[in-house]
């Protein structure tokens, strides 16, 4: 894309070559629009600008642009053409008001006009140009389709100021001392020269429109002895992209090269490092562009990639849902030499998910599976599996979800196949879920008491024994990574209210408190740390004599649950169903630690 530079009043006007550049730019903008064949009766109609060049003074309110049609249309004919304005070195909203519309020729009308409003900005910024374009006529050909409107600057250029010493010169592009005042230029536009750093400490900002994928070279040149430039290049949101002081030892000019990753305005800031008086010292500035060659994929690339490709990154993960089975291969795409597949599964808290790969008969594939959290990061410790069993090269991983969001599943080949055999390395992937629900709390019933002496009947409360809770499913391997988030302060203790119990016939009843801590001993020191607690683990307390459920609760973020005010006349049994843990304690205050030892898991997919 080419854009025109801004000319001062002392420089040459726009020439024929200048118009050629704009014509090429317009071909890029509108070349993709198909040209429609005109009906036979309109084949001879030609619509175009009356002139190739129009001029207007900056202090005029608008410019009048004439469009003509040849030959004269008959009284029954109608011809239409669209018009628009584009930035040259003039900027819409600052130098003129952009316009567009449709012109209609009827009833032997041979010429018509449209106007372009001009903005008098009171800045000495030289003559500026606007591109005029005609396009999209279904009933006539267009020639000429492009013209140039030149806005003649009416503001005097800065002149030398007598200060009793040598002359002082400020360049014609001032003020351009910050991003908002940046002077406009274009890639491959003529070099801008006669630039100065007056007054001392002056900085010059420039901007140009860039396109994604284009490499730009920004440079200063032709420095007067006594100048030493530094160059900073910024993105559209004014983040630094590159900086340079000297192009080479002894060459005090500056040069930055970068490739744009998006469309938008880019900025350059030029400063002078050299001390001393900048009067009568000048430099030049230019932006050029080049297009990098597109790499060619290697020959003989295999076919047979599965429907999920390309899915080797978190951003391109293939969607899988519970109960679905996907048939897959390890055929790579996009020129890579190995295929690693990434999938995403939507998960909810409190649900066990099991994902499984199966290797069909005849496939030499050997899978390795690793789970990644919602951010695409590995769990701590890692959660993964290579072989489900000896001789079974598939993989299986189970995990208890503790959040709502995406779970990423990465599957790769333990033995990466040769490219010409990759289509033979097939496997299937499926995921299932198990919903874990706690056993409902039993309710107390009242039993009739036979009448005693004295005749008065009565009732004493009795409790219906609680059924033994169903054991929780045990995932393989167990994932406790979600409990390792550092907690700045100990969480509040969860206090469990005990269930109503039967008053025993004999024995002294007392209130006891039992603290249970369930933790994953990540550092293997046999002591619970604040960040090692296993959250939301179910804990039940039973009367060891009768088997009756006394209390039930879940651990908090520190892995702690406290049962306070439990009434007991004897020993009680504490169970953690999820870990198949059972422990009998005397009828006294107790602290119980339930340790889960760390387990080694696969470290990653090759």
Tens-digit pLDDT profile for residues 310-353: 888 898 899 999 999 999 999 887 656 678 999 999 999 889 89
* pLDDT of amino acid 302: 58
Q: Report pLDDT for 14.
A: 43
Contacts of 290 (CB under 8 A, 6+ apart): 214, 215, 217
The CATH number of whichever domain residue 22 belongs to comes to 2.60.40.2030
Helix (H) or strand (E) holding 24: helix 16-30
Helix H or strand E encompassing 23 = helix 16-30
Task: Answer yes or no: do 328 and 421 share one domain.
Answer: yes
The 8-class DSSP code of residue 410 comes to: E
- Residue-range definition of the domain harbouring residue 561: 490-596
pLDDT digits (tens, 9 = 90+) for 455-488: 433 333 334 444 444 444 444 444 444 444 444 4
Are 396 and 514 contained in the same domain?
Answer: no
Identify whether 286 is part of a domain: yes
Give the CATH number of the domain where residue 349 resides.
2.60.120.380
For residue 76, what pLDDT band results from cuts at 50, 70 and 90? low
CA distances from 248 to 192, 225, 269, 412 (A): 22, 16, 19, 47
Q: Is residue 3 part of a domain?
A: no
Task: Please tell me whether residues 139 and 206 are part of one structural domain.
Answer: no
Closest CA to 63 of 85, 87, 47: 85
pLDDT band at 73 (very low <50, low <70, confident <90, very high): low
Which of 304-313, 447-456, 597-606: highest mean pLDDT? Answer: 304-313
pLDDT of residue 333: 73
Q: Is residue 425 part of a domain?
A: yes
527: domain CATH number is 2.60.40.10
Residue 499 pLDDT exceeds 70: no
More confident of the two residues 513 and 498: 513
In this structure, the answer to whether residues 355 and 281 fall within a common structural domain is no
Per-residue pLDDT, 141: 86
Q: What is the pLDDT of residue 327?
A: 93
Q: What residue ranges in 176-278 does DSSP mark as E strands?
A: 183-184, 192-196, 204-210, 214-221, 229-234, 240-244, 255-259, 264-272
The rounded distance, in Å, linking the Cα atoms of 530 and 539 is: 19
Q: Answer whether residue 222 shows pLDDT above 90.
A: yes
Is pLDDT above 90 for 217? yes
Domain boundary among 291, 308, 334: 291
87 contacts 95 by C-beta, under 8 angstroms? no
Q: Which residue shows structure tokens 């490709």?
A: 309
Q: What pLDDT band is residue 364 in, cutting at 50, 70 and 90? A: very high
Q: Are residues 227 and 281 in the same domain?
A: yes
- pLDDT category at 523 given cuts 50, 70, 90 is confident
- Residues 280, 330 within the same domain: no
- 222 lies in a domain? yes
CB atoms inside a 10 Å sphere around CB 580: 10
561: which DSSP letter? Answer: E
Same domain, 190 and 145: no
Q: Are residues 205 and 81 both part of a single domain?
A: no
Same domain, 221 and 263: yes
| pLDDT at residue 34, as a whole number | 45
Single out the residue in 400, 417, 435 at which a domain terminates: 435
d(CA 216, CA 547): 80
Please determine, for residue 294, whether its predicted confidence score (pLDDT) is greater than 80: no
Q: Find all residues with CB under 8 Å of 351, minimum gap 6, and list them.
A: 400, 401, 433, 434, 435, 436
Asked if 538 and 546 count as a contact pair (C-beta separation under 8 A), the reply is no
What is the mean pLDDT of the segment spanning 106-116? 86
Query: In this structure, are 45 and 104 located in the same domain?
Result: yes
Pairing of strands 204-210, 183-184: parallel
pLDDT at 495 over 60: no
The predicted structure's pLDDT at residue 159: 53
Distance of CA 191 to the CA centre of its chain: 37
| Claim to verify: residue 143 and residue 22 sit in the same structural domain | yes
Query: pTM here?
Result: 0.31
271 versus 544: the higher-pLDDT residue is 271
Helix runs in 329-389, H state only: none
CA 241, CA 507: separation in Å to the nearest integer?
81
Average pLDDT value for the chain:
78
For residues 31 and 86, membership in a common domain is answered with yes
Cα 246 to Cα 233: distance, rounded to the nearest angstrom: 15
Question: Does residue 284 lie within any of the structural domains?
Answer: yes
Residue 156's SS3 state is: coil
pLDDT above 90: percentage of residues in the chain: 36
Least confident of 121-130, 301-310, 541-550: 301-310
Residue 350 maps to a domain: yes
Q: Is residue 470 part of a domain?
A: no
Q: How many CB atoms lie within 10 A of CB 550?
A: 23
Please give the span between the terminal C-alpha atoms of the chain, in angstroms, as a whole number: 44
Residues 138, 81: Cα–Cα separation, whole Å: 8
Q: What is the mean pLDDT of residues 10-18?
A: 42
The DSSP bridge pattern shows strands 590-596 and 510-520 to be: parallel
- Total domain count, the chain: 4
Tokens of 211: 């396109």
For residue 303, being part of any structural domain is answered with: no
């Amino acid at each position: 894309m080419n854009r025109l530079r801004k000319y001062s009043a002392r420089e040459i006007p726009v020439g024929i070559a200048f118009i050629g550049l704009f014509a090429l730019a317009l071909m890029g903008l509108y070349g993709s629009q198909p040209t429609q064949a005109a009906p036979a009766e309109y084949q001879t109609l030609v619509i175009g600008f009356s002139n190739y060049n129009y001029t207007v003074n900056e202090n005029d309110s608008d410019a009048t642009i004439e469009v003509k049609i040849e030959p004269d249309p008959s009284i029954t004919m109608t011809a239409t053409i669209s018009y628009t304005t584009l930035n040259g070195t003039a900027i819409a909203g600052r130098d003129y008001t952009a316009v567009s519309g449709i012109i209609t020729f009827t009833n032997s009308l041979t010429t018509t006009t449209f106007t372009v409003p001009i903005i008098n900005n009171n800045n000495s910024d030289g003559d500026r140009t606007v591109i005029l374009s005609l396009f999209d006529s279904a009933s006539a050909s267009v020639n000429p389709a492009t013209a140039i409107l030149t806005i003649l600057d009416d503001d005097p250029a800065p002149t030398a100021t007598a200060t009793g010493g040598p002359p002082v010169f400020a360049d014609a592009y001032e003020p351009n001392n910050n991003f908002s005042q940046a002077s406009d230029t274009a890639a491959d536009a003529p070099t801008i020269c006669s630039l100065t750093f007056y007054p001392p400490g002056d900085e010059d900002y420039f901007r140009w429109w860039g396109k994604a994928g284009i490499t730009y070279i920004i440079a200063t040149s032709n420095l007067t002895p006594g100048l030493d430039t530094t160059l900073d290049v910024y993105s559209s949101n004014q983040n630094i992209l590159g900086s340079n002081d000297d192009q080479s030892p002894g060459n005090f000019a500056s040069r930055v090269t970068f490739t744009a990753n998006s469309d938008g305005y880019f900025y350059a800031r030029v400063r002078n490092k050299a001390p001393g008086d900048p009067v009568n010292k000048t430099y030049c500035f230019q932006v050029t562009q080049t297009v990098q060659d597109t790499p060619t994929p290697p020959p003989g690339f295999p076919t047979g990639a599965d429907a999920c490709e390309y899915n080797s990154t978190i951003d391109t993960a293939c969607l899988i849902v519970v109960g679905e089975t996907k048939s897959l291969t390890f055929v790579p795409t996009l020129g890579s030499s190995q295929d690693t597949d990434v999938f995403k599964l939507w998960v909810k808290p409190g649900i066990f998910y099991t994902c499984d790969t199966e290797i069909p008969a005849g496939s030499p594939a050997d899978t390795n599976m690793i789970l990644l959290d919602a951010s695409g990061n590995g769990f701590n410790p890692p959660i993964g599996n290579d072989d489900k069993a000896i001789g079974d090269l598939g993989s299986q991983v189970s995990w208890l979800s503790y959040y709502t969001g995406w779970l990423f599943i990465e599957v790769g080949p333990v033995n990466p196949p040769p490219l010409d055999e990759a289509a033979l390395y097939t496997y299937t992937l499926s995921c299932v879920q198990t919903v874990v629900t706690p056993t409902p709390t039993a309710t107390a019933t009242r039993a009739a008491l036979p009448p005693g002496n004295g005749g008065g009947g009565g009732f004493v409360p009795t409790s219906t024994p609680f059924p033994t809770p169903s054991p929780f499913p045990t995932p393989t391997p167990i994932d406790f990574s979600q409990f390792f988030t550092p907690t700045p302060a100990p969480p509040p203790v969860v206090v469990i209210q005990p269930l109503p119990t039967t008053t025993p016939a004999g024995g002294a009843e007392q209130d006891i408190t039992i603290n249970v801590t369930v933790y994953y001993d990540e550092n293997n020191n046999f002591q619970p740390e604040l960040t090692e607690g296993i959250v939301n683990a179910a804990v039940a307390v039973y009367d060891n004599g009768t088997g009756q459920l006394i209390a039930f609760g879940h651990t908090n973020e520190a892995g702690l649950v406290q049962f306070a005010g439990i009434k007991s006349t004897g020993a009680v049994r504490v169970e953690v169903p999820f870990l198949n843990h059972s422990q009998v304690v005397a009828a006294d205050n107790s602290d119980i630690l339930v340790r889960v030892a760390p387990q080694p898991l696969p470290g990653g997919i090759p």
